[in-house]
A = this chain, B = another copy of it.
Amino acid sequence: MRAMTTWNVYLAGEIHSDWREQIVSAARAANLPLDFQTPVTDHGASDDAGDVLGAEDDPFWKDHKSAKVNAIRTRRLIDRADVVVVRFGEKYKQWNAAFDAGYAAALNKPIITLHPPEHRHALKEVDAAALAVAETPGQVVEILRYVTTK
Q: Count contacts on A: residues with CB < 8 A to the other chain.
A: 88
With the chains together, A24 CA to B49 CA distance in Å? 21
From A142, which residue of chain B is reached at the shortest CB distance? B52
Q: How far is the CB of A45 from chain B (nearest CB, A)?
A: 6
With the chains together, A64 CA to B58 CA distance in Å? 14
Cβ contact within 8 Å between B126 and A99: yes
Contact partner of A150 (CB less than 8 A), chosen from B37, B45, B135, is B45
Chain A positions near chain B (C-beta within 8 angstroms): 1, 3-5, 7-8, 20, 24, 35-38, 40-42, 45, 49-50, 52-54, 57-61, 63-77, 80, 82-83, 88, 92-108, 110, 112, 119-135, 139, 142-143, 146-148, 150
